[in-house]
Chains A and B, each alone.
Chain A
Amino acid sequence: EVQLVESGGGLVQPGGSLRLSCAGSGFTFGLYAMHWVRQAPGKGLEYVSAISSNGDNTYYANSVKGRFTVSRDNSKDTLYLQIGSLSADDMGVYYCARVDWRACSTTSCSSDLWGQGTLVTVSS
């Protein structure tokens, strides 16, 4: 089955950090660029980060730049998001999503496959 499965979320204190993971299966993970998107409780979707298929190129939203780091290990079919200096504004469900190569502009691509999400709670 083609799927993405996130893990690593949990309760963290303000200022703390976590490493989120996204494991791909059922497809050749290393051929796909990947996105991270988050959703605060009861709110809409917010784009967070992207990484190219080989990991050489990354993008971060201004709201997380300098605090979050995206990486991947294609030998393990796994995407990571290291999130740090966390505040209540970072709370929510974090989704990974696979790029859809049929749906690209010159700079960016849409997604065709989403994981189920992992919840990050920031509280003392």
Chain B
Amino acid sequence: DIQMTQSPSSLSASVGDRVTITCRASQGISNYLAWLQQKPGKAPQSLIYAASSLHSGVPSRFSGSGSGTDFTLTISSLQPEDFATYYCQQYLSYPQTFGQGTKVEIK
């Protein structure tokens, strides 16, 4: 199975901050990477697919980049509704695997 490793596991940030989360795959996955957002007690929501393409309705302050093994999710200006846990997910092959999550908390 492809292992996905996110860093950091958690971070504290203020509204308006620029936030970057990284995700590393244990082998090359081209751009077959998605980013998900999950708020407490809620279902995941898909933010980004193909490493950098935003799903419909996702604010433009979210962006993704990377290819191969190293990927980043950036929130350009953190908003109150962005405090959540973020997961990366590879879909190159089965089983699809997820990073362990990055919890973004209010400083």
Contact = CB atoms under 8 A, between A and B. Distances in A.
A105 to B, nearest CB: 5
Interface of B: 30, 32, 34, 36, 42-46, 49-50, 53, 55, 87, 89, 91-101
Interface string A55-98: 00001011000000000000000000000000000000001000
Main secondary structure of the interface of B (DSSP, over half): loop
A49 B6 CA distance: 23
Contacts of A35: 96
Given A100-B46, A117-B43, A110 B95 contact: no
A119 to B, nearest CB: 11
A121 to B, nearest CB: 16
Contact of A44 (B46, B94, B98): B98
Contacts of B101: 44-45
Contacts of A114: 43-46
Contact of B89 (A45, A102, A113): A45
Contacts, number: 74
Interface of A: 35, 37, 44-47, 50, 59, 61-62, 95, 100, 102-105, 107-117
Nearest to A35: B96
10 contacts: A44-B98, A45-B87, A47-B94, A61-B95, A104-B91, A105-B93, A108-B93, A110-B34, A111-B34, A112-B55
Contact of B91 (A44, A95, A108): A108
A103 B49 contact: yes
Nearest to B49: A103
A1 to B, nearest CB: 14
Contact of A112 (B46, B89, B93, B95): B46
Nearest to A117: B43
Contact of B96 (A47, A102, A113): A47
